[in-house]
């Protein structure tokens, strides 16, 4: 079939190899090499404070020794419940140096959700904010008998005293009270670093060892722990480096993705393996702060969701920055309207926006637009080196669909996860054998053009069934974004009371600022006229709802789960 002939290879940049050799190393070994080469290079910047690789690795060694002293053994899981602050990277590297696996835990989780994740992965230790400790963790601590160590920290702990004091007074970083817990050891982060030696632990992680247990909705059901090995992560880093050809030791990376999300963490781990510098952004919605950091550090690589770039484009100061050092801007996780891409490239430079496709189960990158050659707006690009992609029919999950037709995206490559933690049935649904190889069934629907470029049409669960016709929400949304009255929009299906088993198309709109005072009924008629002009009748929204603000996930994607519940 056409996909096995890999038509995308003809569209590769010159010098990008179709296959890669994955180094037989762990992430820790990559970090050890970097600190030898770039000991005095800044590993991170945070609110004007910098930390070199020598300092970061020394602190990570102390953190690792603190874990070991409190009974954490190779293979144990450590939850990291922090925003993008220096403590996250110290803890992440320290966890790996101790031979443990890290599980990123969103600081936005409710106590119930926090308890679920920590119980499900049988976390031995947790690193959390002191404010979360007091407000959300204390009440569930007794429900977690396997959790033996809690390390609490404050957002501003690594800042100078005056900045910490000012931040507390202005309530920008409120502190929480940390108290003893029965049956658990409780430390502050600074105590963990000061009490334990900074000599590297003797344990050496192997490529096949688990390094991350990242939670995701996955292809089906409730949140599941995705098992990623050191080899998975090293493979994807190698693929991205082969594809983008970064300048070793000189890249400055800035991302609004949270570190507890694999996209943000993978970027950080890639930066740490290259001797790059990460500009940590604890609150991506504070665009004023983000722009100041861009002006101060002049990043070379930006990685964000489309909504984040669109928020920056709304800021006049962003347009005034010198973006000449930006080599490329990666965008993923949700559709990026074509007009917004053109607007962003009008600011940062033509050809600099690279749309990508990936997921937690693939460490995360699967496809990417070429950095140097032809890229196609609206496409998520080509399979990266060493990656196989097929499109199969939704019914059997095995028959490949013809060129240009929609099908489920399935992926095979060294970056594909080991499986879901303690969930063999879900793993069997996601990972299936085809032609002697293991393929991940993504649950995403896509198509491929004659040049091998892939387009994500929809999530299978977001596809609507309107009187037997398939409506791909992404296709409809991307066209609607061309209407000037829309700031954010989403298409969801609602039951059709006249046709059981069929749906009606519902459009949810956050109005653009210039349309804020316009009569909503008039705008509704405009949108309906626009839809009728551009879509087949079954794709035209039957219900239009206006909202003050669109619900977004922590990563910045439109949260359709919330919209469906409304």
Domains of the chain: 2-22+221-458 (3.40.50.12780), 27-205 (3.40.50.980), 463-565 (3.30.300.30)
Backbone angles phi, psi at 515, to 5 degrees: -110, 10
Task: Report which DSSP code applies to 442.
Answer: E
The pLDDT of residue 131 is above 70: yes
Q: How many residues does the chain have?
A: 566
The pLDDT of residue 109 is above 90: no
- DSSP of 399-419: SBPPTTS-EEEEEESTTS--E
Residues above pLDDT 90, as percent of the chain: 77
Give CA–CA dist 85/104, Å, rounded.
Answer: 13
pTM summary value: 0.87
**Computed from CA positions of residues 479, 480, 485, 491, in that sequence, does the dihedral angle turn out positive or negative?**
negative
Q: Give me the mean pLDDT over the 354-372 stretch.
A: 96
Q: Give me the mean pLDDT over the 360-389 stretch.
A: 95
The pLDDT of residue 163 is above 70: no
Give CA–CA dist 313/327, Å, rounded.
Answer: 18
Note the pLDDT tens digit of each residue in 400-442: 999 999 999 999 999 999 999 999 999 999 999 999 999 999 9
Cβ contact 222:255 at 8 Å? no
Task: Report which DSSP code applies to 512.
Answer: P
The pLDDT assigned to 71 comes to 97
pLDDT bucket at 458, cuts 50 / 70 / 90? confident
DSSP 3-state of 64: helix
Note the pLDDT tens digit of each residue in 313-343: 999 999 999 999 999 999 988 778 888 899 9
The pLDDT of residue 201 is above 60: yes
The pLDDT assigned to 162 comes to 56
> Which of 156-165, 218-227, 422-431, 498-507 has the highest average model confidence (pLDDT)?
422-431
Identify which of 114, 413, 410, 382 has the alpha carbon closest to the alpha carbon of residue 260. 114
Identify which of 540, 538, 516, 521 has the alpha carbon closest to the alpha carbon of residue 529. 540
Task: Report which DSSP code applies to 325.
Answer: T
pLDDT bucket at 464, cuts 50 / 70 / 90? confident
Q: Give me the mean pLDDT over the 485-491 stretch.
A: 91
Note the pLDDT tens digit of each residue in 67-81: 999 999 999 999 999
The pLDDT of residue 219 is above 50: no
Note the pLDDT tens digit of each residue in 542-555: 999 999 999 988 77
What's the Cα-to-Cα distance from 127 to each of 87, 88, 136, 432, rounded to whole Å?
A: 9, 9, 13, 35
Give CA–CA dist 446/163, Å, rounded.
Answer: 49
Give CA–CA dist 355/338, Å, rounded.
Answer: 11
Q: Give me the mean pLDDT over the 31-46 stretch.
A: 97
Q: How many CA atoms lie within 13 A of 155 on its CB side?
A: 21
What's the Cα-to-Cα distance from 251 to each of 305, 377, 476, rounded to whole Å?
A: 20, 25, 37
The pLDDT of residue 160 is above 90: no
* Residues 390-427 as b or e (16 or more Cβ within 10 Å = b): bbbeeeeeeebbeeeebbbbbbbbbbbbbbbbebeebb
Give CA–CA dist 412/434, Å, rounded.
Answer: 10
Identify which of 216, 21, 261, 33 has the alpha carbon closest to the alpha carbon of residue 117. 216
The pLDDT assigned to 437 comes to 94
Q: Is-cis flag, bond preceding 524, omega within 30? A: no
Q: Cα angle at 366 between 91 and 377, to 5 degrees? A: 115
Average of per-residue pLDDT values in the chain: 92
pLDDT bucket at 172, cuts 50 / 70 / 90? low
Give CA–CA dist 281/351, Å, rounded.
Answer: 25
In what order do the strands lie in the sheet containing 503-511? 486-495, 503-511, 543-547
Cβ contact 364:263 at 8 Å? yes
Give CA–CA dist 197/238, Å, rounded.
Answer: 32
Identify which of 321, 272, 281, 288 has the alpha carbon closest to the alpha carbon of residue 303. 281
């Amino acid at each position: 079939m056409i996909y096995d002939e890999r038509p995308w290879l003809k569209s590769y940049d010159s010098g990008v190899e179709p296959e890669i050799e994955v180094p037989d190393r762990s992430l820790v070994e990559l970090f050890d090499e970097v600190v030898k080469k770039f000991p005095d290079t800044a590993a991170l910047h945070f609110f004007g404070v910098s930390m070199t690789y020598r300092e970061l690795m020394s602190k990570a060694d102390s953190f690792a020794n603190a874990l070991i002293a409190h009974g954490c053994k190779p293979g144990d899981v450590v939850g990291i419940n922090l925003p993008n602050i220096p403590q996250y990277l110290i803890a992440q590297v320290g966890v790996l140096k101790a031979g443990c696996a890290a599980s990123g835990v969103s600081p936005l989780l409710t106590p119930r959700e926090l308890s679920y994740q920590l119980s499900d992965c049988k976390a031995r230790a947790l690193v959390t904010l002191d404010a979360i400790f007091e407000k959300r963790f204390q009440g569930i601590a007794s429900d977690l008998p396997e959790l033996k160590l809690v390390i609490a920290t404050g957002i501003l702990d690594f800042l100078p005293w005056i900045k910490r004091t000012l931040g507390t007074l202005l309530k920008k970083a409120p502190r929480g009270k940390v108290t003893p817990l029965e049956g658990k050891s409780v430390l502050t982060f600074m105590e963990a670093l000061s009490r334990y030696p900074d000599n590297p632990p003797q344990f050496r992680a192997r490529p096949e060892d688990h390094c991350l247990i990242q939670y995701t909705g996955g292809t089906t059901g409730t949140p599941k722990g995705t098992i990623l090995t050191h080899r998975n992560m090293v493979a994807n880093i190698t693929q991205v480096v082969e594809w983008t050809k970064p300048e070793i030791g000189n890249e400055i990376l800035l991302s609004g993705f949270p570190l507890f999300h694999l996209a943000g963490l993978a970027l950080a781990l890639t930066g740490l393996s290259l001797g790059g510098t990460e500009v940590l952004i604890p609150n991506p919605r504070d665009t004023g702060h983000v722009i100041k950091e861009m002006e101060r550090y002049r990043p070379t690589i930006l990685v964000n969701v489309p909504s984040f770039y669109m928020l920056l484009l709304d800021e006049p100061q962003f347009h005034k920055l010198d973006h000449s050092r930006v080599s490329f801007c990666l965008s993923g996780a949700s559709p990026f309207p074509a007009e917004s891409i053109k607007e962003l490239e009008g600011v940062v430079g033509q050809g600099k926006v690279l749309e990508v496709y990936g997921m937690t189960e693939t460490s995360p990158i699967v496809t990417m637009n070429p950095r140097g050659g032809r890229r196609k707006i609206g496409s998520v690009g080509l399979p990266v080196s060493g990656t196989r992609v097929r499109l199969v029919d939704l019914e059997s999950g095995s028959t490949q669909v013809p060129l240009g037709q929609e099908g489920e995206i399935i992926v095979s490559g060294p970056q594909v996860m080991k499986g879901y933690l303690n969930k063999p049935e879900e793993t069997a649904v996601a990972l299936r054998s085809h032609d002697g190889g293991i393929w991940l069934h993504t649950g995403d629907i896509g198509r491929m053009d004659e040049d091998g470029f892939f387009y994500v049409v929809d999530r299978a669960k977001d596809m609507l069934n309107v009187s037997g016709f398939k409506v791909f929400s992404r296709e409809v949304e991307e066209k609607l974004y061309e209407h000037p009255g829309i700031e954010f929009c989403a298409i969801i299906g609602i039951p059709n009371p006249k046709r059981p088993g069929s749906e009606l198309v519902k459009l949810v709109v956050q109005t653009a600022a210039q349309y804020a005072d316009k009569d909503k009924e008039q705008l509704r008629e405009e949108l309906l006229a626009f839809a009728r002009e551009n879509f087949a009748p079954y794709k035209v929204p039957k219900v239009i709802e206006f909202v003050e603000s669109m619900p977004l996930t922590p990563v910045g994607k439109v949260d359709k789960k919330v919209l469906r519940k409304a």
